[in-house]
Chains A and B, each alone.
Chain A
Amino acid sequence: MYDTILVPTDGSDPANRAVEHALALAEQYDSHVDALYCVETYRYGEPALSSAEIVLNDLEERGQALLNELAERADNYGAEVSTCLCHGRPWEEILTRADTVDADLIVIGYQGQSHSRGGKIGSVAERVVRSADRPVLTA
């Protein structure tokens, strides 16, 4: 049913919950897990100034650390994992990546990092659910 599961993460609590779901599913279905971290350059802009470049480097480092941690966790579940770090608008990059890896399921936290209000779905998750032509699990 699920050969390839895409799990985008930004390190937020809902994203971590999504990772739990993705790994539990991967364990049962023997799925390949593809983990994605997107540096939100739409929000921060591509660097024109050196200080912005430092911010992006920090975000990239943070993203890579999250992906490494996720790969380790996947290993504990015996799941085969690949990771991808990209720049762009998260929801667009998630859909593009889903096409690239031909994901059978996208597992996404219902709200991410930048979300401050409780109880409502985040804009990234909402756009992915709305626009994806594949199954999406919001957790």
Chain B
Amino acid sequence: MAAAALIKKKPHPTEADVDEAMSLVICRCGTYTRIREAIMAAAGMATTTTGGR
């Protein structure tokens, strides 16, 4: 939800934007690196489908 809100607000987030937006989300299994990559990938896809890139 936090990631979806970020992409809605900022379709081209930087990694720092992602870190900031996800700062309240805790993952005890330690998947942050993959989550960060996934959000960047999702943002890339969103921009592609809307023709924004």
Same complex for A and B? Answer no
Using CB atoms and an 8 Å cutoff, list the residues of chain A in contact with chain B: none
Using CB atoms and an 8 Å cutoff, list the residues of chain B in contact with chain A: none
